[in-house]
Structure 1
Amino acid sequence: MNYQVITGENKKINYVNVSKNISKLLRHTALKVGLQMDDEGYVKLDDILKLGRFKQVTFEDIQKIVETNDKKRYKMKFEDGSWYIKANQGHSIKLKNPNLKKVMDPSEIPVVIHGTYTKYLNSILDNGLIPKNRTHIHFAKGLYGEEGVISGMRYNYEIAIYIDSKKAMKDGIEFFISENGVILSTGLNNRIDKKYFKKICKKNGQEIPF
């Protein structure tokens, strides 16, 4: 995605900033600013574009952001004469029907990795993985940059925590897959204990004993 694109006479749109604002709105603040959201998280695009922060943004700008987003964060649909947009995952807003695929067998997710930073590792080892302000804990199907891995962890992660999905599912932990391929879980009582950690590695591959 281009960082800044000129789209018309004397008009500059910073697509990165617009994408961040859209992401925050769809994942966290839509209801607070009075927007209507359906059970899957869709919001009418016309209503979004009426908000002051998007006054220079057009439908075409949003469409380009959705189409070029490298993590496939968004999805659009046309229904009853209007366009709608949603975030595929990452919500703190609890959705009635987030349209997630439930993982039925550990073989569907042979690799489950949570990316994090060194400063959080001691807390994670003490308390386990928790969703914090989101509805789910996020995982990737592989390391950032590997084939088929487009989302689920940040590019600048420092620590990779590998989850034993077979052991976790045997103990009743459920996993789901979002429409953009992110593995999601609420763990047991909103927590995944370190006993389900298979291994912990630094970004260079060096294992960290725990």
Structure 2
Amino acid sequence: MSRKESGGRAMPREVVLSKALSHLLRHSAEKEHLKISKEGYVNVADLLETRKVKSLKATLPEILEAVSSSNKQRFSLLYVSPENMEQGTEGSQQQQDVATSTAASEEKQKSATTHALSVNDKDASHFLIRATQGHSIKSVDTTLFLERLSLSDSKEESPATKLPDTVVHGTYHGAWPLILASGGLQAMSRIQVHFAIGPTVDEVFPNGRDAAPAKLEDKSNQIVISGMRSDAEILIFINLRKALEAGCPFYRSENGVILSEGIATGGDSPDTKKMVPLDFFDLVVERKVGLGVLWENGNVVQELPSHLAEKKNPKQVRGGGRGRGRGRGRGGRGQP
């Protein structure tokens, strides 16, 4: 089974496997008849038997390597020892109880993954795996394994628990007019909109706000940013405190991604969609061609030129070949 990158080169096997795992755990587990818990965990033995993974002839060591080598820490792993398991229904319940307990604590999640990767056990059925974020499967309750951010989070607390100073959403030229027209960021097919905690405004404007922003680097030099594609052309900076004060929920995933399903902005109608509205946008910056600030404090500073606004967004090629114009593409309008 071979896949190709946009440049026509064959993707390395480990990349193909990682993409397949991400797609299954985030989007298609139920379609593949893969049992997934409300915490997002599936049994690795069952995972290896799915059509998508089985076609790759993947092994348990390769799954473990995919977890440990993911540059964005896309996966969490849980080991349930034979001593803590029983056969049949009771064994399944034991796994469920362990998964529920672990998912409730970010610290437990990280230590559980570290422990699972250190275990010398060749039985795949003793391992559970889930995606750390990015789900569209409605039966998965992401609030069970995401840390909800609060205004009470103190600056004196550890960096891992305090409110992030920067919350930014990366998107593309073609998505920006749609975001403006819709009134904000919508999760679309995902459960939540994704945000990163960098780059900061100072990093985007290294020579000051009166100068042009730093342009995107060549793809080969781009750094990995959890929560945003590194080639994002437009950066939307969020006023997190204002959003939290207004009751808009924000969460932090195990791998540091900030997420929000937004709030209902159209009254009590059952058809009202949730979004992170424009009211919470502090600053919007175009950095691909160096236009700079497009939006600031509730006002349009400059329009995006039509030849950019009308561009189709890059397509994201996911495990099953699904792709669509997006901003970050996943989910269409503004989804990173």
Give distance in 1, aligned partners of 2:293 and 2:177: 15
Distance in 1, Cα, partners of 2:14 & 2:287: 29
Match for 2:34: what amino acid? L
- Name which of 91, 94, 104 aligns with 2:150: 104
CA distance in 2 between counterparts of 1:149 and 1:170 reads 31
- Kept in 2, the 8 Å contact 1:76–1:83? The answer is yes
Deviations 1:117-155 (A, max 9, x none): 0100011012110001011111001129x8x97410001
SS of 1:114 mapped into structure 2? strand
| Root mean square deviation of aligned Cα | 2.2
1:57 and 2:58 matched = yes
**Displacement of 1:187 after TM fit?**
1.1
Q: Match of 1:118, as an amino acid?
A: H
The aligned residue for residue 31 of structure 1 is: 30
Q: Is the 8 A contact 1:23 1:87 kept in 2?
A: yes
In structure 1, C-alpha distance between the alignment counterparts of 2:144 and 2:132, rounded to whole Å: 8
TM-score by length of 1: 0.87
Given residue 155 of structure 1, which amino acid in structure 2 is its aligned partner?
S
Q: Deviations over 1:1-33 (max 9, x none)?
A: xx9xxxxxxxxx711111111101000111111
User: What residue is the counterpart of 1:207 in the other structure?
Assistant: 293
The CA deviation string for residues 64-89 of structure 1, in whole angstroms up to 9 with x for no partner, is: 11111110000111115311110000
Bigger helix fraction = 2
Q: Is the 8 A contact 1:143 1:149 kept in 2?
A: no
Aligned to 1:88, which of 124, 132, 156? 132
Structure 1 residue corresponding to 2:240, chosen from 165, 169, 194: 165
Aligned in 2, Cα 1:32/1:80: closer, same or farther, shift over 3 Å? farther
Determine if contact 1:72/1:180 at 8 Å carries over to the other structure: yes
Q: Report how far residue 110 of structure 1 moved.
A: 1.9
Per-residue CA deviations over 1:172-198 (Å, capped at 9, x if unaligned) read 111110111110111112111112110
Runs of 4+ in 1 over 3 A off after TM superposition: none
- 1:193 maps to 2:237: no
Distance across 2 between alignment mates of 1:64 and 1:14: 12
Larger radius of gyration between Structure 1 and Structure 2: 2
Write out aligned runs for 1:42-191 (5 A). Answer: 42-55=41-54, 56-81=57-82, 82-94=126-138, 95-96=140-141, 98-105=144-151, 108-127=163-182, 128-143=184-199, 150-189=225-264, 190-191=274-275
How many residues get paired?
197
Alpha-carbon deviation of 1:171? Answer: 1.0
Q: Which has the higher strand share?
A: 1
Provide the secondary structure at the position in 2 that maps to 1:208.
strand
